[in-house]
Structure 1
Amino acid sequence: MKKYLLYFFVITIISSCGTHPFRSSEKSYKSQLRGFQKKLSSKKTTPLENGINPEWISTVNFNLRKPNFIIIHHTAQDSLQQTIRTFTLPKTQVSAHYVISDDGKVVQMLNDYLRAWHGGNASWGKNTDINSTSIGIELDNNGTEPFSDNQINSLLALLSRLKKEYNIPTQNIIAHSDIAPTRKSDPSVLFPWKLLADSGFGVWSDNEIKEAPQDFNIEQGLRIIGYDTRNLSSAIKAFKLHYIQTEVNDILDPKTINTIYCIYKKQ
């Protein structure tokens, strides 16, 4: 009897060690991929209102859609594991392509060509469906702590690969707060945007900022940069969170106006 119990105990331990902690999410991921494969393979056409039934003739000239933006977030959670759990529960309805931990570990959670749910109700310029054209990167950070060197180094390495692989424009590497100024403030004021820009990821103001013309339209300038200016106060705050991190408010002082003009000229 003791021998049987010992054998059962050993088998249980071995089985538990070999169990993937996110087996259910892997199963769901594969199931959804099969569903997408079926849709992509379908050659069924839909009749039009005028009674015409389109004929299917396959073209040979096509490829996958590619991302054109990279959106950087902080998780606002306390650990990498907590974030992974959040992104593997169907009820949360949120995800990202990559999560980077404080120690620099990188976890990829979705193929780059697939649409993650990371931007929410957001826009940049005329693009009102950011999720369909972007890669979402989440940084393991609760929003009040500095970003570690290891984490930023991994982010720079990841940005280097993504920018090169998908030919993403430098100015299209932006923040969650940029695309959703009334709702979001991530990544936090502690995020090193200047360091990223100096490395070729995103734009930054000149060392010597020129004075904006007297007739410079600030609201129009922010709109041309990409901001949704329907709530102008929020757009100004989001701009300063990115470019003037020592003064995150909606005050349009000369420094703010001139910085907006400088970034506007780089578009």
Structure 2
Amino acid sequence: MAVFVALGAFLMTLAGGWTAQRVTDRRHLVLGLAGGLMLGVVGLDLLPEALGAAGREVFGVPAALLLFVVGFLLAHLVERLLAGRPQAPGSTPAAGTPVAPHGGDEHGHRAPEVGLTAAAAMVGHSAMDGVAIGAAFQVGGGMGAAVALAVIAHDFADGFNTFTLTTLYGNARHRAIGMLVADACAPLLGALSTAFFRIPEPVLGGYLGLFGGVLLYLAAAEILPEAHHEHPAHSTLLCTVAGAAFIWLVVGVSG
């Protein structure tokens, strides 16, 4: 049953990525929406789950929040290390590479590896979504249905963000599609894995906190500044608010 439900997450992820591809002429709106979706997922979905699962404190701070800060700093460190690599003399960026002042290297070009790393983290998160579905069905049918609804609904945002993150950093379209397909397959594999093992709840909570920090950094330091850089329009801001509100609706319905 868990694997069958995860098939819905597979389809929703592909639908989200397809949507991101079809609106390239409104890139600032795509990025604004993606930023809002990511903000909503972190603040309204990941962090509450992480705080509930991780439980323990480290020097008076909940372990999930400590790992959240670590994830934010880790994302910043990785981006600085990759973006700060020297370019070969006379080198030019690949065709289609976006040029922007936010997060770029000294030549203003983004490091494609950052986008691939972020997309890989999304794939890992989607795999954990599948694990969550399988674990919930082990508890009971009602719990499984509630978790499945939340996962399937926000996997549309996952697919949307995976494609957007990959292409934002100058990766070719075929790479973005490859990461999108991997992200879509990940919940199926995660749900299937629950037939063989269980992930301890504190470990799962710590992972969610860490991943939440990474996502918040990407949304606040990269996605949203890029969205407003060339098109500082009210419509972009409205898309950001709509993205966060959508995740709030999903969390409220599934709760």
Larger Rg: 1
TM-score in terms of structure 2 length: 0.22
Structure 1 or 2: larger helix share? 2
Between 1 and 2, higher relative CO (CA 8 Å, sep ≥ 6) is seen in 2
